[in-house]
Amino acid sequence: MKKLPSYLIYKSRFRHLSSSSRATTISTEVSSIVHSVDPMEPALEQVAPFISPETITSVLQEQKNPYLCFRFFVWAARRKRFRSWGSHNLMIAMLVSNNLDVFDVFWRVLEEIKSYGFRISSDAFAVLIAGYWEMKNAEKAVESFGKMKEFDCEPNLFTYNLILHILVNKGMILLALAVYNLMLKLNCHLNCATYSILIDGLCKSGKISDALELFDEMTQRSIMPSMITYTAVLTGLCHAKRIDDAYRLFENMKSSCSKPDSVACNALLNGVCKLGKMDEALVLLKNFKKDGFDLDLNSYSSLIDGLFRTKRFKEAHDMFQKMIEADITPDVVLHTIMIRGLCDEGRVLDAFKMIKAMSDRNLVPDTQAYNTLIKGLCDAGLLDEARSLKLEVSGVDEFPDTSTYTILISGMCRYGLVGDAENIFNEMEKCGCVPSVVTFNSLIDGLCKSGELKKAHLLFYKMEIGRNPSLFLRLSQGSDRVVDGESLQTLVTKLCESGSALKAYKLLNQLADTVIMPTITTYNILINGLCKAGRLDGALKLFKELQLKGNSPDSVTYGTLINGLQSVGREEDAFMLLEEMVGNGCKPTPAVYKTLMKWSCRRKKTFAAFNLWLKYLKSLPKRNETVIKLVEGYLHKGEIERPVRLLLDMDIKLQDLDSAPYTIWLIGFCQGRKTNEALMLLSILKEYNISLTPPSCVMLISTLCKEGKLNTAVEVFIYSLEKGFILKPRICNNLIKSLLQSRFIAYDDVFALMEKMGSCGYDLDSYLDEDTKFLLDNNQRKQEMRNALTR
């Protein structure tokens, strides 16, 4: 072995050289040593004081032997002052630019160094983890992180942040939080990047409340949020439709941080556009421009998307043209937005042309672009063309996918072609394309609507039994029983703390790949199908099952069941369900209260209907409790006019007027034969300029005819004509016959009313029944005889 000079010889050799010459000499000397000896030998220790991070990088670049290169990097990584991004990135490049055998070489180096009794630096594992991630092998990255304990290597903050980034990108937010908890227990020094990664993951998972809690925890630890942190929270708030909170955060960002960048501005702009508040978005844009913000591709995409969603088609096309004139080239995402907008506009052929325009711009349409066009074809009823397009572009990478099949199945079911939808579903499974919850929901809904409840049930159980998470967990976990999300999180945290991060990763990954649990939407579809088929007991049984399996019924579930119970006259059960709904913290929707109000009115309990609506109003914010108590007092005394006026004044003041309860009460009074109360309510509604509905007009006319108040009945009918309502033949014939049979109504007045009906769109030849026509002929003859006698 070559005899190496001592440290003093190196010192004297380098002392007289200039800085540039010294750097070159040291690099050459180190390179020579690395080639001639083991990098872990003391020879390098002799020259170590003269080596800089740049020298390390320079030597690594010269090495052609991965084994020597890795050995030298691991030696350098053990010394903090030698750390540099240059050498770090060179190692990652070496790992990913070769075949997977290079990773084996790196592992062999680590094993050898471990056998010498040397401690491995965390930077060495950071390179390895980053390399696997670059190769899209998240499992190996997590496995490498888990093996650090075997090498007596404590992860540093950079390595922790790296693994958090990988887990968040893979959608493993549960595992990322478990790693975060481990960092806290080990008193790891957290930084802004740690919180930014986790907050971004929580926001993307729809856990905005948890993200805000973590944001507060970050500031409490005196860690200042960066622009990236603010933008992540801003985007999360916008996705959660909490736009007011987003505005407040944006203003806080401007005062606490540097000037918001284009990413932050675009995040807020996109959030406002997604909510359809386009006028507000355009005002926001003007304010941005004052601050020096220039529209870029993302800005135009958000604006054009928002304009299309709000049916402002011309403005959307003008905006697109303005962007082209500004010499900004649209990308695949914007072309997809244009395709969807053109389809919504009914211009499917132009949407096809947009696909060609992408090719002309050297852009390759992705799966999302094709799926958008296929959906447009399905929505337009062009189902054969949609299937043809799917076959035509089946050679495209990753196409068709689950979304393609789901769109086609949904389209077939919408047009009643359930058999074709089933064939597509079977084809999908044969191709190895896994159905999603939405796929199952679409087909189950189609089967229910076509009356094939047995098939719908079978598909539901296929979905549930074939992909049952609790079954999977029972088989895989043994004593670690997982029954819900909380126990799953506990298990994942436990695995991470014991160094079994890979096992936790595989568990969550298997669940993500194999579990398709029926969501509450699935249950709601099936419950609705059973209710419409009159099978209430089956619907109630399914309702109990979903709760036993850990699902929480929502307002749609309760509303569907209450409506179903109402249709078969099970009043007591419906009201018990309402109480259970409120007791479980599920807020009844206005539709639930309106259903029960209509039912109470049919049973001639109009005042009970009033009280139901008051119960709903009490659950709303900003409602004046004093006014509601006054209304209750007046109703208890049997008064109508004052409570109705009080409620109307309160609704108008809050700009939250819903005419439905008032028309329900009007119909209720008619059903209870309380004609005077109905007419009083009619007068108040006219005074407040509240339009009647066709059913309320029908009920009023019918009641007034029975009461013999024909002049008022005619007034209501003329009101319906002026509103453009076309009432059913039965009520029109009933009114005309009542008028013809009355001694107080002239035939000429009846004839004038019929002429008005004809001018308003009534086809009297087909609309009038035989009895009415007979009475008309009879009255006409009588009129002619009277006229003859008077001459």
Whether the predicted pLDDT of 767 surpasses 80: yes
Residue type, 760: C
- Split at pLDDT 50, 70, 90, the class of 27 is low
pLDDT for res 638: 84
What pLDDT does 393 receive? 83
- The structure tokens listed for 130 are 């980053």
Instruction: Choose between 260 and 698: higher pLDDT.
Output: 698
Is pLDDT above 60 for 481? no
User: Cβ–Cβ contacts within 10 Å for residue 418, how many?
Assistant: 22
Q: Domain end: 97, 123, 153, which one?
A: 153
In a domain, 394, yes or no: no
The answer on pLDDT for 738 being more than 80 is yes
Tell me the pLDDT tens digit for each residue of 198-249. 999 999 988 999 999 999 999 899 898 888 999 999 999 999 989 999 989 8
Q: How confident is the model at residue 96 (pLDDT cuts 50, 70, 90)?
A: confident
Per-residue model confidence as pLDDT tens digits over 345-402: 999 989 988 988 888 888 888 889 999 999 999 999 999 999 998 888 887 777 888 8
- Report if residue 13 sits inside a domain: yes
130 in any annotated domain: yes
The pLDDT of residue 692: 86
Domain that holds residue 768: 721-791
Residue 30: the pLDDT is: 59
Tens-digit pLDDT profile for residues 300-312: 999 999 999 999 9
Highest mean pLDDT pick, 153-162, 511-520, 565-574: 153-162
Q: What 3-state DSSP class applies to 156? A: coil
Spatial distance between the Cα atoms of 664 and 647, rounded to a whole number of angstroms: 14
Instruction: Report the range of poorest mean pLDDT among 156-170, 350-364, 515-529, 679-693.
Output: 515-529
Pick the range with the lowest mean pLDDT from 3-12, 157-166, 607-616, 619-628. 3-12
Number of compact structural domains in the chain:
2
Inform me whether the pLDDT recorded for 773 exceeds 50: yes
Show which of 120, 153, 186 is a domain's final residue. 153
Mean pLDDT on 287-292:
83
- Asked if residue 729 belongs to a domain, the reply is yes
Give the pLDDT confidence score for residue 82 in this predicted structure.
59
Question: In the structure encoding, which two tokens stand for residue 618, read together?
Answer: 């009490």
DSSP string for 349-415:
HHHHHHHHHHHHTT----HHHHHHHHHHHHHTT-HHHHHHHHHHTTTSTT-S-HHHHHHHHHHHHHT
pLDDT of residue 10: 43
Of residues 22 and 372, more confidence is placed in 372
740, burial (CB in 10 Å: exposed 0-12, middle 13-18, buried 19+): middle
Instruction: Decide if pLDDT at 484 tops 60.
Output: no
Of the pLDDT bands very low, low, confident and very high (cuts 50, 70, 90), residue 17 is very low
Average pLDDT of the residues of the chain? 83
For residues 238 and 369, what is the distance between their CA atoms, to the nearest angstrom? 24
Per-residue tokens: 112? 């050898």
Q: Evaluate whether residue 530 is within a structural domain.
A: no
Longest distance between any two alpha carbons in the chain, whole Å: 147
pLDDT for position 57? 66
Tell me whether residue 775 is in a domain.
Answer: yes
Cα distances from 362 to residues 336, 342, 352, in angstroms, run: 15, 21, 16
- Within-domain flag for 51: yes
What is the percent of the chain with per-residue pLDDT over 90, rounded to a whole number? 24
d(CA 92, CA 128): 7
Give the model's pLDDT for residue 475: 41
In the listed set 100, 124, 153, which residue is the last one of a domain according to the structure?
153
CA atoms within 13 A on the CB side of 390: 26
Q: What is the pLDDT of residue 569?
A: 79
> By the 8 A CB rule, do 233 and 215 touch?
yes
Percent of residues, the chain, with pLDDT higher than 70: 85
Residue 14 lies in a domain: yes
Confidence of residue 42 (pLDDT cuts 50, 70, 90): low
